[in-house]
Structure 1
Amino acid sequence: MSLDVFPDQDGAPDEPAGAGAGFRTRVYRDVRLPTADPAVTLSADLYRPVTGRPVPGLVTVQPYRKDFLAGGIYAGPARWFAEHGYASLVVDHRGIGASDGQRRPEFDRDEGDDAIAAIDWIAAQPWCTGAVGAWGMSYAANTTLRVASRRPPHLRAAVAVAHGLDAGRDSIHPDGSRGDLHALANRGSAMLLQQLLPPLAGYADPGAQRRWRARLRTQRPMALDYARSPADDPVWAERAIDGSRIVVPVLCAGGWRDGFTHAVIDAYERIRGPKRLVMGPWGHVMPQDSAHHPVDFLALMAQWWDHWLRGVPNDATVPPPVVLHLDGPVPQWRGYAEWPPPGRRVVLAADGGTLTQAVPDVHCRPPGTHVPDPSVGTLRGLPGLGLGESCPPQDQHDDDLRSLCATGEPTDADLLLAGRPEIFVRLAPDEDGRVVPPARLVVRLCGVEPSGRSTLISTGTLRPDSAAEEHRILLRPVHHRVPAGTRLRIALGDADFPRLTPLSGGGVIRVAGLRLVLPVADEQAGTAVDLPARAADAPARPGAAAPPGWRVERDHTGGTTTVTVAGEVPHTVSADGHVYRLTSLVRAHLPGGSPQAVVTSGTHTAEVWLTTDERVWASASVRCTQDTLHAHGVVRIGAFTVFEETWTAELTREESRVCSSAVTAR
């Protein structure tokens, strides 16, 4: 839609309001938003309430093609907000979908330019009050926080769901380690597929066809950028967001079952403006779409927008600012005045293989020596990673047997853990009297039930950067009740397969001491809070993926471990009437327990039945070994292959950050 006829164009048909809403809606597809580059416009879908009064604007800028999967995530909420009196823009990043230009490297600091362009555009429209909110989930949440740190004058509030400030640490190289499964195999192949597919919005438009074919010729897969930039590359610090620059009100939301729990809470801690934190029992999904205690999150967002964009007095700023879900026999929501909640710290030390409060760490027997097993981690599940919440943690018992463990006596009373547990690992010298830190330390905090089941409470990963004897590992934040009679357990190793790529040269870990510091909240510190359950009229999400098939195969004799996740998005109709179906297969294979031979791969495939009676088939795959990444893409229209290419890049093995010459002697 050209700018010279918009916004006076009234050709979009009115859509009736949903139950409980007050406004009919008009949807304008492919609204062209100007940028600082005259040659580049961004494509947006605009959802406008039919009203003669100006309304506030909402902006979501995302990289997942609004004519494809992103349409299923954001179209429903955008229409819902329009029905409730907000004009909503869903925008493709430049170089994505129907937007012009070349894609920047992912999480580039200049991505905020696109969001600023969208905010400036909607604020300038005569039907907008000039007050704008920005929101998004996952990558779009990162873009939201980035633009908030840029402080555009019309941005008055933000909502960030399931992401944080430092994508390098939180997503691409999890915990500063190499993680081929998510960034390269799964997400890398999924993003390549989106790059390969022809436009689904305005397929027959010559401009859209030229844009697509130019990208096929010139754009390289995003995964190649990750391959060029390992965890230690300073580029990730450059792409991180300075949370202290965020002064607009921000509602942060995340899930205890997600892979970005720490990222959301870290963002909340760093933001300087008015803020709220809601942490639910959710995975990597919108809170209203979760299978675990879904809430009416759109209503919570509308309350946030009403207060900060309209000036409506409501409960958006009424204490408590921190609302946390607590699992247990009677699940509940608890509110706190701060994060972490007030309480005490309980210290346990390993005396041999026993966790005890009786003796100081320095007088304890050494926990022992551990020969790492690269397959440890398969029972942790796959939280987040674009896999929703269908790969939850399992009984940790078998992984515990493959780790160096210290286990406590049954607790006398319940412990309400709220905060970030810490584990201190004191290393012992080798035969030559040297303290040699491993390339990676991975710890799990578990609760062992009377039945013997080992339940995962939290995890932590550290890449030691010094030859110090003692290393502090900060675990992921928790809000978890440990029932009386539970035995706490520390399990230590260097593997978290398949989330982290196995170390190619892991050595023996000699441990002289282990100390666990638990943040135990005061039971009286929290208050009961009611959050609204998912509304009956909440918008359904079209194109939602079926629960993935997750399978772990362990050959206890030969040592081979394989983790497979197969997914499908069943036949879905796009906004333009095309029908598509998606399948995916992600696989991590560790043959014979040999980390040198590990292979991690991902393949995403799409079939599209166009309204022109053409059939498009596209497939994108990424395969990683310890040293090499191979990516392959192919597009067929009917019986003809219109594109096929293979890309290769070198991968950097994860090694110790401490040179052998720098190891201290005793």
Structure 2
Amino acid sequence: MHIRTADQFPHRIVREDLWIPLPDGTRLYARIWRPVTEEPVPVLLEYLPYRLSDWTAPRDAQRHPWYAGHGYASVRVDVRGHGNSEGRPGDEYDETELADGEAVIAWLAAQPWSSGKVGMFGISWGGFNSLQLAARAPEALKAIVTVCSADDRYDNDVHYMGGSVLAVDMHAWASTMLAFVSRPPDPAQVGEGWREMWRRRLEAVDPFIHTWLGHQSRDAYWRHGSVCEDYSTVKAAVLAVGGWHDPYRDTVLRLVEHLPRESGAPVRGLIGPWSHQYPDRGLPPGPAIGFLQETLRWWDKWLKADDKTAAPGEKDVMDEPLLRSWISEPHPPATVYPRLAGRWAGDAAWPSPAVTMTPYELPGSGPVHVRSPQHTGVDAGRFFPFGNDSDLPPDQREEDGRSVCFDSGTLGGRVEVLGRPRVRLRITSDVPRGQVIARVCDVAPDGSSTLVTRGVLNLTARHGRDRVVEWQPGATEDVTFELNGIGHAFPPGHRIRLALSSAYWPWIWPQPGSEAGWVLDPAGSRLELPVRDPAADAGAPPIRFAEPEQAEPLGVRYPEAANPRPERVVVRDVAAGEWRLEVDPRYGGTRVYPDGLEFTENALETYSIHEDDPLRAAARSAWEIRLKRADLGWDARVTTRSRLRADGADFIAVNEVRCEDGGEEVFHRVWERRIPRTAG
């Protein structure tokens, strides 16, 4: 990692904190880094609810000054009702948030230091709303870089997967956002009125889990903000970026397929080996790339060069392949990889003519009953890997033992896959509801099993995510669904394994009656892999990236915890038949900022289930957050507790928020809600 100091940039930089006015009089808190120049410059916007004055400040310091030093006004804005921004918080990506975003873009384009051209970027939430605002096509928005985001809010986000409730992240993220939205504004920025501002904000809070579980099929709620509903609305140039260890990577494949054809918007896709992180940060798995330099090529192309041509001696960014993908070499199972071996491949079109869907028939002479214990999935790893030590799935042999597995013969040659595998399964079920989970694993000669990719189908969603069609007990049907995309090489001497299970806790909330499982007819079933011809790269110039570089770090201190608990623990009560998974998400812990702010957060997620009873599933989340400024005598605390369970008819959600200022209670509320189980 190369760190550029302020005197090493082409431009000197100034920083300013201010409020951006909205049409209704609300003001959003913003931080702007600008180059010192007499000429108007293009503007880059990152728009998030995650608090620019503390939570994202270390990450912001790595990139916003870097862009400013290269001739852009780089702006970080807190969404309404979050951080120091005024107003009341709403649901994620709601109409108010997006309309506010359009107003911010217009305001930035109209400033005297602005050229009138705006780009937008972000990872996760900021990548989502960048893409969604591009679909609204405000005049000034000319280009975006969307990282680890989704074009499909229903089936490629934290809520549902294959039509099934994502227990692991719907509940965990709703609980996290309940804690995040309950944090107070900072009196160092907003002044003495912070406490009343905090109280008004808290009175508007409603746990996201109520809304998300209230829409268990793909209805109008999920279609809002899902760019896949109409790609033709996107007019800005789109650089779509993902990682094979991020759950949103399939969006990159869809964008490079649909945008050129349906909207005509310029697009390029980039998928590396990364987790849910910016690709320059160096967090596992690597290798990291010079991502800021790569995005600068994108901005220069669409926001600076009037003739849309590269500078002399530079390759035009649009001369890069439509899709640049990392294909990983085989690797033993591990929960963290500092760096994966592999290579970059380029495809000029997607779907690529170099990729062929290749069928692998399932061996077997008769029907097989797939009836997995309910704790199948405890070795699934984290839904959102962030680069922590326990994020990725360990050796899958125990999970394979809880599943029905079909192995290929020993491979005589190398098989490279790139894209989304697909399964076609002939199933008989005696119960109206259930789930199918398919995993593809790379099995080495020593028997170790490395998870390559996976997919899920809620059987009631087999005819479409927008409807619930229960299975006619005793009926036999053929079902087809895709697995998550991947770039992976299976070497000679290994075997390709398809593992099928009827449970996957805690990723997937089990259906009532799903303990009965279902019957598979191997003769009517198969796995289809997107096999890529390695010869497709013959004669093509190698794909290379610069080494990572960033601006100077903010100088935050991270005191070590006295007794750090493990990140991920599985507990089995043998006599009771119960399993419990305890997860510390480790978003940041305690940190001390250069301006004296002490920020501490402590979180624990717990998932429990009985190995034979899907109605004993339960998820819990506990958060404690403290913000303290000794110089102001400010000591604010937020405590939240969230629980979710389900019987045969309803989900039962209980959420609690308690907020204190200097030991005095400012707010306390408990929500209890029963939500009918429809698709979930």
For Structure 1 versus Structure 2, the TM-score category normalised by the shorter chain is 0.7 to 0.9
AA partner of residue 347 (structure 2): Y
Q: What is the SS of the residue equivalent to 1:223? A: helix
How far apart are the structure 1 equivalents of 2:187 and 2:297? 33
**Which residue of structure 2 lines up, in the alignment, with residue 274 of structure 1?**
266
Aligned residue among 485, 500, 505 for 1:492: 500
Cα deviation per residue 1:85-133 (whole Å; 9 max; x = unaligned)?
A: 1101111112222222222322324532122111111111111111110
Q: Is residue 596 of structure 1 aligned with residue 615 of structure 2?
A: yes
1:576/1:233 CA distance change after superposition, 3 Å? farther
| Count of matched residue positions in the alignment of Structure 1 and Structure 2 | 621
1:567/1:404 CA distance change after superposition, 3 Å? closer
Point out where structure 1 has 5 or more consecutive residues left out of the alignment. Answer: 1-15, 353-364, 431-435, 657-666
Q: What is the SS of the residue equivalent to 1:106? A: coil
Q: Does the aligned pair in 1 maintain the 2:429–2:517 contact within 8 Å?
A: no
167-176 or 229-238, larger mean C-alpha shift: 229-238
**Which residue of structure 2 lines up, in the alignment, with residue 361 of structure 1?**
none
How far apart are the structure 2 equivalents of 1:389 and 1:261? 21
Return the offset for 1:84: 1.4
How far apart are the structure 2 equivalents of 1:58 and 1:203? 23
**Which residue of structure 1 lines up, in the alignment, with residue 338 of structure 2?**
none
What value does the CA root-mean-square deviation take over the aligned residues? 2.5
**Which residue of structure 1 lines up, in the alignment, with residue 337 of structure 2?**
none
The aligned runs of 1:177-576 (5 Å cut-off) are: 177-184=164-171, 186-200=172-186, 202=188, 205-241=191-227, 242-271=230-259, 272=263, 273-289=265-281, 290-291=283-284, 292-311=286-305, 313=310, 314-315=314-315, 316-328=317-329, 330-341=341-352, 342-352=354-364, 365-384=365-384, 390-428=390-428, 438-463=433-458, 464-465=462-463, 469-506=477-514, 507-513=516-522, 514-526=525-537, 527=540, 528-535=542-549, 539=553, 542=556, 549-555=567-573, 558-568=576-586, 569-574=588-593, 576=595
How far apart are the structure 1 equivalents of 2:407 and 2:266? 42
Return the offset for 1:204: 6.0
Q: Does the aligned pair in 2 maintain the 1:340–1:418 contact within 8 Å?
A: no
1:540/1:277 CA distance change after superposition, 3 Å? farther
How far apart are the structure 1 equivalents of 2:551 and 2:51? 26
1:567/1:489 CA distance change after superposition, 3 Å? closer
1:203/1:621 CA distance change after superposition, 3 Å? farther
1:637/1:103 CA distance change after superposition, 3 Å? closer
AA partner of residue 64 (structure 1): Y
Cα deviation per residue 1:24-57 (whole Å; 9 max; x = unaligned)?
A: 222111x2222232x3222211111111111110
Q: Does the aligned pair in 1 maintain the 2:275–2:385 contact within 8 Å?
A: no
1:553/1:264 CA distance change after superposition, 3 Å? farther
Q: What is the SS of the residue equivalent to 2:667? A: strand
Q: What is the SS of the residue equivalent to 1:380? A: coil
**Which residue of structure 2 lines up, in the alignment, with residue 577 of structure 1?**
596
Q: What is the SS of the residue equivalent to 1:376? A: coil
Return the offset for 1:288: 1.1
How far apart are the structure 2 equivalents of 1:545 and 1:439? 47
Q: Does the aligned pair in 2 maintain the 1:296–1:533 contact within 8 Å?
A: yes
Q: What is the SS of the residue equivalent to 1:500? A: coil
Cα deviation per residue 1:441-480 (whole Å; 9 max; x = unaligned)?
A: 1111112111101111111111224557100011111111
The aligned runs of 1:92-241 (5 Å cut-off) are: 92-171=78-157, 172-184=159-171, 186-200=172-186, 202=188, 205-241=191-227
Return the offset for 1:600: 0.6
Return the offset for 1:387: 7.5
How far apart are the structure 2 equivalents of 1:634 and 1:26? 39
1:589/1:544 CA distance change after superposition, 3 Å? farther
Cα deviation per residue 1:615-654 (whole Å; 9 max; x = unaligned)?
A: 2222122111112111111122223222221112223436
Q: What is the SS of the residue equivalent to 2:28? A: strand
AA partner of residue 635 (structure 1): C
How far apart are the structure 2 equivalents of 1:389 and 1:121? 43
How far apart are the structure 2 equivalents of 1:454 and 1:560? 25
How far apart are the structure 1 equivalents of 2:555 and 2:217? 35
1:575/1:304 CA distance change after superposition, 3 Å? farther
Q: Is residue 615 of structure 1 aligned with residue 635 of structure 2?
A: yes
How far apart are the structure 2 equivalents of 1:45 and 1:201? 16
1:644/1:592 CA distance change after superposition, 3 Å? same
295-304 or 554-563, larger mean C-alpha shift: 554-563
Q: What is the SS of the residue equivalent to 1:373? A: coil
How far apart are the structure 1 equivalents of 2:591 and 2:251? 32
63-72 or 573-582, larger mean C-alpha shift: 573-582
How far apart are the structure 2 equivalents of 1:35 and 1:86? 23
Q: Is residue 67 of structure 1 aligned with residue 40 of structure 2?
A: no
How far apart are the structure 2 equivalents of 1:103 and 1:508? 42
How far apart are the structure 2 equivalents of 1:245 and 1:232? 20
Q: What is the SS of the residue equivalent to 1:642? A: strand
**Which residue of structure 2 lines up, in the alignment, with residue 646 of structure 1?**
670
Return the offset for 1:212: 1.4
1:201/1:76 CA distance change after superposition, 3 Å? farther
Q: What is the identity percentage for the equivalent residue pairs of Structure 1 and Structure 2?
A: 28
Q: Does the aligned pair in 2 maintain the 1:17–1:23 contact within 8 Å?
A: no
414-423 or 640-649, larger mean C-alpha shift: 640-649
Q: Does the aligned pair in 2 maintain the 1:175–1:461 contact within 8 Å?
A: yes
AA partner of residue 610 (structure 2): P
How far apart are the structure 2 equivalents of 1:386 and 1:211? 32
Cα deviation per residue 1:250-305 (whole Å; 9 max; x = unaligned)?
A: 11111111121223322333323111111111111111122221111111111111
Q: Does the aligned pair in 1 maintain the 2:210–2:675 contact within 8 Å?
A: no
Q: Does the aligned pair in 1 maintain the 2:321–2:346 contact within 8 Å?
A: yes
How far apart are the structure 2 equivalents of 1:536 and 1:28? 20
How far apart are the structure 2 equivalents of 1:27 and 1:382? 37
Return the offset for 1:426: 0.6
How far apart are the structure 1 equivalents of 2:392 and 2:56? 24
Q: What is the SS of the residue equivalent to 2:632? A: coil
Q: Does the aligned pair in 1 maintain the 2:5–2:552 contact within 8 Å?
A: no
Q: Does the aligned pair in 2 maintain the 1:503–1:655 contact within 8 Å?
A: no
How far apart are the structure 2 equivalents of 1:335 and 1:545? 43
AA partner of residue 605 (structure 1): E
Q: Is residue 629 of structure 1 aligned with residue 629 of structure 2?
A: no
AA partner of residue 401 (structure 2): L
**Which residue of structure 2 lines up, in the alignment, with residue 13 of structure 1?**
none
Return the offset for 1:220: 1.9
1:161/1:494 CA distance change after superposition, 3 Å? same
